[in-house]
Amino acid sequence: MENSKSKDPLHGITLLKIVEQLVAHYGFDTLGELIKIKCFTDNPSVKSSLTFLRKTDWARKQVEELYISSLPKFS
């Protein structure tokens, strides 16, 4: 049987890892400009961002899309 690797770039990546990597690369100021959500602009923290993103599907989708499009920059 062949080893099949998931083609989903988010497979096995936690939301925590996504947010931490985006913050490390862009910082909260730039994230707030790229994705207009308060958890990135008003008193931002990883914890508050995770709380909001876990409850808000549209915002999580935007963050995941930014993460996927930024993957080449992380290498």
Question: What is the C-alpha separation between 2 and 48, in angstroms, rounded?
Answer: 41
Q: Using a pLDDT cut of 90, give the percent of the chain over it.
A: 81
pTM of the full structure:
0.88
The secondary structure of the chain in percent helix, strand, coil, rounded to multiples of 5, reads 70, 0, 30
Tens-digit pLDDT profile for residues 11-40: 999 999 999 999 999 999 999 999 999 999
Q: What is the dihedral of CA 46, 7, 36, 21, to 10 degrees?
A: 30
CA distances from 50 to 5, 13, 32, 72 (A): 27, 14, 14, 23
pLDDT at position 8, please? 87
